[in-house]
Amino acid sequence: MDSIRIRGGAELKGQIPIAGAKNACLALMPATLLSEEPLTLTNAPRLSDIRTMTQLLQSLGVEVSSLAGGKVLALSSHGLTSTRADYDIVRKMRASNLVLGPLLAREGHAVVSLPGGCAIGARPMDIHIDALTALGAEIDLRDGYLHAKAPRGLRGTRVPLRFASVGATENLLMAATLAKGTTVIENAAREPEIVDLALCLSRMGARIEGAGTSTITVEGVDRLGGATHSVVVDRIELGTYMLAPALTGGEVECLGGRIDLVGAFAEKLQAAGIEVEETEKGIRTRRANGQRPRAVDVVTEPFPGFPTDLQAQMMAMLCTADGVSILEERIFENRFMHAPELMRMGARIEVHGGTARVTGVERLRGAPVMATDLRASVSLILAGLAAEGETVVSRVYHLDRGYEHVEEKLRAVGADIERVTA
């Protein structure tokens, strides 16, 4: 099993290219199920989650070709052979549930296993089920599978979501494109990945208004066509690398970065004394006057608030900040599993339920640590960059789900980091 070895203390300087967004691409790929015509995705990230979604779509009869070294995905659903998403594939990744809405819309029936993924909370499917039921679907849970059918077809209606779930918004948005009549999604998720999906669907012929706001209106059409679409930049990878020089010193320019994708996060960085500058090519960050970061309080919220997927990385920085910071996790329960591992490196953290109190120390110490989920894994790498001595992060298969060539990107800006295969 692979691990990542880091020898901390090196300042970082240079440029890091930011890949296409994992969470956007995982929603865009199932959109191919809505049409018999080809869908081509450019700027696709090269990640294990993308390979898992590829396997799932291929099991349904979708033709998927990986081009340009994996950065272009050519998909065609002209000849579906199945509407059953089996447990053996779905258990690997929660985003697998995003085939449910498109299959119901196009084929009128689907059998989809309950999904798996990182162990960061329950993340139940009931919001998805309630939303699709509102469109006329009949869904039963039997033997760990959702058995869904729409015997009279899907019909547009007003659908208020009780929580602004990204996945439920995406499933409902795709299903509504082929429903009869008009669907109004209230309390919709506003994340950039939703906007990117709506843009792609519109290029395929969907009629969508309001993506990026809390109310999305979809006028159903009889059929969708093909399209070519570039995947939006990954705001979580962007935020992760924006943090790197905040822990190590130096400065890093994140190529392709956009402030509108990370506004609330960038504001917290600036409050902590980190300079954030837009450039012609992206975003540059560095410590103000080379000083140690200042403590700040963080509350995770749905977009446009501070992203839960950057909480672990932010905690790593605050472990070295001057003062006491309070982090409150409001999106997922059980998402402070990285805290005990950071404490092995000398961090001072107290966790009480959904709140963590972090008292910054001047220097972390290298130690063997274990990744517990995707974002926790990269937070430990960030901490290792700032620590004295050697840090070895094990179980980095989590990392490969969401970060493309992380060791190469960090090594290119001066980090002493390598992947070790046991």
Domain end marker among 200, 230, 260: 230
- For 230, residues 6+ apart whose C-beta sits below 8 A from its C-beta are 20, 41, 42, 43
Same domain, 251 and 395: yes
Same domain, 176 and 291: no
Cβ–Cβ under 8 Å, residues 311 and 300: yes
Same domain, 147 and 186: yes
- Predicted local distance difference test score (pLDDT) of residue 118: 42
**What is the reported pTM?**
0.94
- Predicted local distance difference test score (pLDDT) of residue 310: 97
- Predicted local distance difference test score (pLDDT) of residue 124: 65
- Domain of 119: which CATH number? 3.65.10.10
Which positions make up the binding site for phosphoenolpyruvate? 22-23
User: Which SS3 state, helix, strand or coil, does residue 40 take?
Assistant: strand
Q: Which of 214, 115, 134 is nearest to 182 (CA)?
A: 134
Which positions make up the binding site? 22-23, 94, 309, 331
**Could you tell me the residue range of the domain that residue 293 belongs to?**
2-18+233-421
- Predicted local distance difference test score (pLDDT) of residue 121: 41
Same domain, 405 and 365: yes
Domain end marker among 230, 248, 267: 230
Same domain, 209 and 285: no
Same domain, 216 and 351: no
Catalytic residue annotation? 118
Same domain, 55 and 193: yes
Which residues of the chain fall short of a pLDDT of 50? 117-123
Same domain, 13 and 69: no
Long-range contacts (CB closer than 8 Å, 24 or more residues apart) made by 46-51: 46/19, 46/70, 46/71, 46/404, 46/405, 47/22, 47/400, 47/401, 47/402, 47/403, 47/404, 48/397, 48/400, 48/401, 49/22, 49/93, 49/95, 49/401, 49/402, 50/22, 50/25, 50/26
| Distance between start and end Cα atoms, the chain | 6
Cβ–Cβ under 8 Å, residues 289 and 52: no
Same domain, 186 and 276: no
Q: pLDDT of 71-102, one tens digit each?
A: 999 999 999 999 999 999 988 888 899 999 99
- Predicted local distance difference test score (pLDDT) of residue 120: 35
Same domain, 49 and 145: yes
- Predicted local distance difference test score (pLDDT) of residue 332: 78
**Domain total for the chain?**
2
- Predicted local distance difference test score (pLDDT) of residue 91: 86
Cβ–Cβ under 8 Å, residues 145 and 111: yes
Same domain, 165 and 38: yes
Which positions make up the binding site for UDP-N-acetyl-alpha-D-glucosamine? 94, 309, 331
Domain end marker among 209, 230, 251: 230
Same domain, 54 and 165: yes
Q: pLDDT of 167-224, one tens digit each?
A: 999 999 999 999 999 999 999 999 999 999 999 999 999 999 999 999 999 999 999 9
Instruction: Please report where in the chains the tokens 């990640």 appear, as a residue.
Output: 47
- Predicted local distance difference test score (pLDDT) of residue 119: 42
Q: Which of 78, 72, 2, 1 is nearest to 34 (CA)?
A: 78
**Rounded to an integer, what distance in angstroms lies between the CA atom of residue 135 and that of residue 155?**
5
